[in-house]
Structure 1
Amino acid sequence: MFHLSQDSGNKKGYEQFDSVLTGLLRRILDTNKRVQEAACSAFATLEEEAAEELAPRLEVILQHLMCAFGKYQRRNLRIVYDAIGTLADAVGEKLNQPVYLEILMPPLIAKWQQVSNSDKDLFRLLECFTSIAQALGTGFSQFVQPVFQRCINIIQTQQLAKVDPISAGVQYDKEFIVCSLDLLSGLTEGLQGGIESLVAQSNLRDLLLQCCMDDDSDVRQSAFALVGDLAKVCPVHLRPRLSEFLDVATNQLTTPKLNETIAVANNACWAIGELAIKVRQEISPVVMTVISCLVPILQHAECLDDHVDTIISCVYDQQGVNKSVVENTAITLGRLAWVCPDLVSPHVEHFMQPWCISLSMIRDDIEKEDAFRGLCAVVRANPSAALSSLVLMCKAIASWDEIRNGELHNEVCQVLHGYKQMLRNGAWDQCMSALEPPEKDKLSKYQV
């Protein structure tokens, strides 16, 4: 695989890259089906590695892919869907140019209209549209209405097919629901508030709640991802059944066989946090139940480092998922603390230490900001409870490269200065001496 230098003078590297790309694109249009398959597979790998390097070459790539789209037979057509979706993931918003959309969208829309709601080829097409919608963002708005409505229709039909396949006219297959939910998430993520009017005119809320209660974990996993996405952009449409969404999300965290549904619990945890910062005090009825589920996850997060699988092994069964679970747990705990500090602060001493350790591992972003707002809120409400974890809290604060939000920066300053005034007789200096030099340097931003 070629790795191109950022140096614009790396002419030879780009010539080699273009030579490989041209060769692959030519082979994609080969008449031999096995050559087509091998070329598409190799091109998908190239897409993932080259990523944005493909952007200047998008027009010729799309022309070849859509030509293949028109000539491939059914089996290899699925590979083209994957190649288009991977391309959209790789180049992102750079795909949102009229010249590219004129090449890409008409053949896809024609195929979209041609494939029936019971055809399993629809799975790959739905997945392809998901990547395109996320890449185009608001640029997908001109295509969104029929795509959104079809997803609703598919979910509705499949839910009926589950109980009465004769009336539905199709056999139940959960993958139709999962792919439709994922595409609705992609539309929501891409269009943001632009999805609101379509949600308002649909029965998505009721269908989604039903999916959240489905007995299949894959359906629930995708359903809670969509709950979280909708909470971010149009929570008003979840509010009429908010308590039901919260109850069923909380239930995912209390299941006795958490290891079998950890991805569902992870998405449910994230969705609760997204709902919390939108509905604020309305989250209060489930706060203590959720916290009682989240705290054990944080308390045993050391399993990540020590590979200990005897303690709460139900939670830590896959290294990749573990990190995400711990991060989402720490963030959601912070969001609940932010909106309901009076409920959370009396219990903070039970989880302050592992919470701070987990917060230290999270990259700087808006979710981390929310979590630290919660940290500041509970520390202000119950400062003595955090005293024994002060060093770890300082390390968590020092984990920031920079707190860009001025309001949060000031809150952190106030917390640190409050403890500095509280700790007398060298206690503050003793706390500072436990920090590494780079951590002390980071804290100097807060004038302590």
Structure 2
Amino acid sequence: MLDIKWIRENADVLDSALAKRGAGPLSASLIALDERRRTILQSLQDMQSRRNAASKEIGAAMAQKNSELADRLKAEVAELKTTLPAAEEESRRIEAELTDALSRIPNAPLDDVPVGADESANVVTRVVGAKPTWNHKPLEHFEIGEALGLMDFEGAARIAGSRFTILKGQLARLERALGQFMLDLHTGEHGYIEVQPPLLVRDDAMYGTGQLPKFTDDLFRTTDGRWLIPTAEVPLTNMVREQILDGEKLPLRFTALTPCFRSEAGSAGRDTRGMLRQHQFNKVELVSITDAESALDEHERMTACAEEVLKRLGLHYRVMTLCTGDMGFSARKTYDLEVWLPGQDAYREISSCSVCGDFQGRRMNARYRGKEEKGTKFAHTLNGSGSGVALGRALIAVIENYLNEDGSITVPDALIAYMGGLRRIEKAA
């Protein structure tokens, strides 16, 4: 969330940032709403002060036996007691209206983020490796998985409906191996702390990372009012909510392997075949909590950590800098890692690493205090969705890139130990 004080002082900057994201100007309406809030608050404070003063004056008037003045003051206090609740309610209403308006404004992109309306304006930052070449025809992951008898979409649909998958046998183990490999890499070599967080969270946690109120339709809600997490970014980032952190101990780095749940409300008709876009999927998440000065360096470091996963799996990929129109709501800058999928003859996003500035820290009221500093500042947050690599998409990439001519799948060297020494996945007996 953006600070209304900053908006008042940087109205043109805000409107320029919104224009880059394809939105109209909002500074004038926000400042006008804030003026109303300030006027009502001042009026409320004046009435409260007058009530308190008049109450004291009543005592003085009665001590002087001036009953006429005392009665007049009592009438004034009685009237204030009648009007104050309405003024207090109006103050709360305006405060809530302003907070809601501010909560719906996307984060301001950094100056070096390319400007564009959609993914066509994204910029290739670097390309790693080369596309594989074979003598046999590439196939899509669902063709390979079903032929092996280890991937069942019809069975999943009978149980849960569309956009679910059943993995069996060695494909189920391969996805588990991918998750364990990523966790071991990030905790053992990259300095992240493994966490097993709640999968159900409250409204304020979803609000803190920016899922609420804007993206309600993309979420699943339980009967008791909590939310199934769409990403472990939500509980991991909210671990520092409403805290004052020791700046000397930053950055904090967390990782988690969790199921994630998304309604995919805005993806009707897209990626309906296979595992690319599911209601339920497993994902390894990276989250960093840091200070203002270190955030951009941490962004490069986090992206490198995610890239290392793909490098060790021997997958060809490219790093994209997302444009303003394709970037997430809370992000100031995002790198997407797009892996090559031979079956689709296309690059597909497998990981997304974003720096969010103090946007989420402000929403969570997460602060830090630097060495010898009296005041506090809002924490800066970063997230790497999917390692981050989404396990389902990593599984797709391995299946399609390691397909053999006979339909079997070679296990990447990095995963052999996690597969109990198995080097090839073949058709189920």
TM range (shorter): under 0.3
Higher strand fraction: Structure 1 or Structure 2? Answer: 2
Q: Determine which structure has more spread, i.e. the larger CA radius of gyration.
A: 2
TM-score between both structures, scaled by the size of structure 2: 0.24
TM-score between both structures, scaled by the size of structure 1: 0.23
